[in-house]
């Protein structure tokens, strides 16, 4: 992380992203001066954690002496929040969305606009060290990009400038690797609980699966009954899932996709 | 791991499981005396790693002075291998399958039979420490169970005696948590590669997803566009996947399942 050029920063949104990013920016020497959220409880709770921050009930920052506005609201709310936001000319306004275009910030009059997308999953209940979280940055011109990069580098060692299309594709890849994987882990945990098995049992297997995927292409090290073409086991598993038709359908689809991929890449059926 | 009562052990099968388990047993003080595999190359390669082991071309161990036979062949081959195996009376014969019943070993005349299922994914190219790998053991009677347990405890600190139904359910849970997750990681990697993005980018996100899943029920911490009901992003992602109809279908199904689960468990839509 680079030495910090101190900025005065306002957040629009007091959700999970703001909850982790605002304290990290304050710890890096910036001044988080304002937290706007429609929810009075949310803006007040987060503002209380940041000694210099005021909770704001309206996104009007024209006279607020703010250098940077970070919009971290749900994707679906981003357009409306951008349309309501008012800033002094030259203010840097960034959003933190992985999937939304920079152009959504065009309605913010007089602003320089950019994207600062943290590639991480945040919950309020679990601390996350931002220093190793990849931050993807984007802007329309080189000068603005440097400003966004400087801000990003003040809290993370992993800052990448990406093209809009690449950021969207990265977000899509993250949905598969994180959101969908999490759902499968939830199903797996439910199955363990139904058999009164300790949920920690699968942890070493999971760690190894992730570690292996970092070293080799997962398609090349695929294991399990689907890639082995073990039809008896596939049928037995589908039978065991008959109380869970949704999981049964996922099992069928994922197994088919594994088999089709093995056909394409020539992965060997291996014991696992 | 407990102190070892030295056994003379033969392996039927020279695949990934034997490749890791045979050296671990030898290191624990047992004598691995024979490796049978239909493939001459496989049995000779593995036997070369084990100073006391002979490669065997037929599974006839009647005069081989062997205490334990470990059958680690693909599930689909297990019945045939068991039918061909011949042992001296009282030999302990176990298989290492997560999904196959103990009764598959009934054709082995005169044997005591059991299951020794390592809950881990193995590749020949990647070393795995067995000491923390959960080993699931099963047998028909208490005396045999103690023998299988003693063998398991000589190489792992995590030995669990389970009922047949629980072992099958555990295997099914492992397919979701490991095999299916691996497939999603493969898709994710392919998407990164298509956008010329470094594949390591998603590693912190993935680590955090796994760490979180160990602490809380994954359904309770689900993030992403599906659980947020962010229809614009879902549609944009489906559009981006139009060159990959198989992944598109998985995206659709997994998103639907996430939404149906959130409806059941009342998971909150959170920013992620």
pLDDT of residue A3: 59
Q: Report the chain A residue with the minimal C-alpha distance to residue B76.
A: A230
Interval A126-149: pLDDT, tens: 777 889 899 999 999 999 999 999
Instruction: Kindly tell me the sign of the dihedral angle through the C-alpha atoms of B188, B193, B196, B197.
Output: positive
pLDDT greater at residue B255 or residue A267: B255
* B176 contacts chain A (CB < 8 A): yes
- Closest residue in A to B261 (Cα) is A183
Of B168, B170, B257, the CB nearest to A246: B257
In the predicted model, is pLDDT for residue B1 greater than 70?
no
Q: Per mean pLDDT, which range of A113-127, A189-203, A217-231, B86-100 is the poorest? A: A113-127
Given this model, what pLDDT does residue A271 score? 37
pLDDT computed for residue B64 by the predictor: 86
Residue B126 tokens, joined:
């990647």
> Hey, of A11, A14, A179, which one would you mutate to test binding to chain B, going by the most B CBs within 10 A of its CB?
A179
Q: What is the mean pLDDT of chain B?
A: 92
- Residue A42: its chain B contacts at CB < 8 A? none
A38 burial class (0-12, 13-18, 19+ CB within 10 angstroms)?
Answer: middle
CATH topology classification for B168-265? 1.10.1040
The verdict on B72 touching A (C-beta cutoff 8 Å) is yes
What's the pLDDT band for A37 if we cut at 50, 70, 90? Answer: very high
Q: What is the pLDDT of residue B266?
A: 53
For this complex, say whether ipTM is above 0.85.
Answer: no
List where CATH 3.40.50.720 sits in chain A: 8-162
In the structure, what pLDDT confidence band is assigned to residue A268 with cuts at 50, 70 and 90?
very low
Predicted pLDDT at B128: 74
pLDDT at A272 over 60: no
Do B209 and A182 make contact, defined as CB atoms within 8 angstroms?
yes
Average pLDDT, stretch B59-65? 90
- Per-residue confidence (pLDDT) for residue A237, from 0 to 100: 97
CA distances (Å), origin A251, targets A215, B23, B59: 26, 34, 36
Q: What is the mean pLDDT of residues A54-69?
A: 93
pLDDT for B269 beyond 50: no
Confidence label for A265 from pLDDT (cuts 50, 70 and 90): low
**HEC letters along A221-233:** HCCCHHHHCCHHH
Tell me what pLDDT residue B189 has: 96
**Rounded-to-integer distance, Cα A82 and Cα B272, Å:** 19
Which has the higher per-residue pLDDT, A244 or A272?
A244
User: In a mutagenesis test of the A interface, which of B81, B185, B219, B228 is the best target, namely the one with the most A β-carbons within 10 Å?
Assistant: B185
In the CATH hierarchy, which top-level class contains the domain A8-162? Answer: alpha beta
* 3-class state of residue A144 by DSSP: helix
What integer is the mean pLDDT of A168-195?
A: 96
Q: Does the pLDDT of residue B237 top 70, yes or no?
A: yes
pLDDT tens across B96-108, in order? 998 899 999 999 9
User: In chain A, positions 196-255, which contact chain B (CB-CB < 8 Å)?
Assistant: 196-197, 200-210, 212-219, 221-233, 236-237, 240-241, 246-247, 249-251, 253-254
Closest CA to A205 of A223, A232, A182, A180: A223
Give the pLDDT mean for A187-202: 94
Put simply, whether A142 touches B (Cβ < 8 Å) is no
pTM of the model as a whole: 0.83
pLDDT of residue A181: 97
Over 80: is that where the pLDDT of B251 sits?
yes
CATH 1.10.1040.20 domain range(s) in chain B: 168-265
Q: Please indicate whether, in this complex, the C-beta atoms of B218 and A74 are within 8 angstroms of each other.
A: no
pLDDT > 90: percent of chain B: 77
Residue B133: pLDDT band with limits 50, 70, 90 = very high
């Amino acid at each position: 992380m680079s030495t910090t050029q101190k900025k005065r920063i306002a957040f629009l949104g007091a959700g999970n992203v703001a909850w982790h990013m605002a304290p990290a920016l304050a710890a890096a020497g910036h001044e988080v001066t304002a937290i706007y959220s429609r929810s009075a409880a949310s803006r007040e709770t987060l503002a209380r954690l940041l000694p210099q921050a005021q909770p704001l009930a309206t996104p009007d920052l024209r006279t607020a002496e703010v250098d940077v506005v970070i919009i971290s609201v749900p994707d679906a709310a981003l357009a409306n929040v951008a349309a309501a936001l008012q800033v002094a000319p030259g203010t840097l306004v960034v959003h933190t969305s992985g999937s939304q275009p920079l152009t959504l910030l065009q309605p913010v009059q007089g602003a320089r606009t950019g994207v600062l997308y943290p590639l991480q999953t945040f919950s309020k209940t679990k601390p996350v060290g931002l220093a190793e979280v990849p931050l993807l940055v984007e802007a329309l011109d080189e000068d603005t990009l440097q400003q966004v990069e400087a801000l990003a580098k003040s809290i993370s060692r992993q800052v990448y400038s990406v093209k809009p299309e690449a950021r969207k594709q990265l977000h899509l890849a993250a949905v598969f690797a994180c959101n969908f994987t999490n759902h499968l882990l939830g199903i797996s945990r439910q199955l363990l609980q139904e058999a009164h098995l300790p949920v920690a049992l699968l942890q070493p297997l999971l760690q190894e699966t992730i570690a292996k995927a970092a070293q080799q292409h997962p398609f090349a090290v695929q294991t399990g009954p689907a890639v082995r073409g073990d039809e008896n086991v596939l049928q037995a598993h589908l039978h065991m899932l008959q109380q869970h038709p949704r999981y049964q359908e996922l099992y069928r689809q994922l197994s088919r996709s594994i088999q089709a991929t093995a056909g394409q890449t020539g992965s060997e059926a291996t014991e696992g």
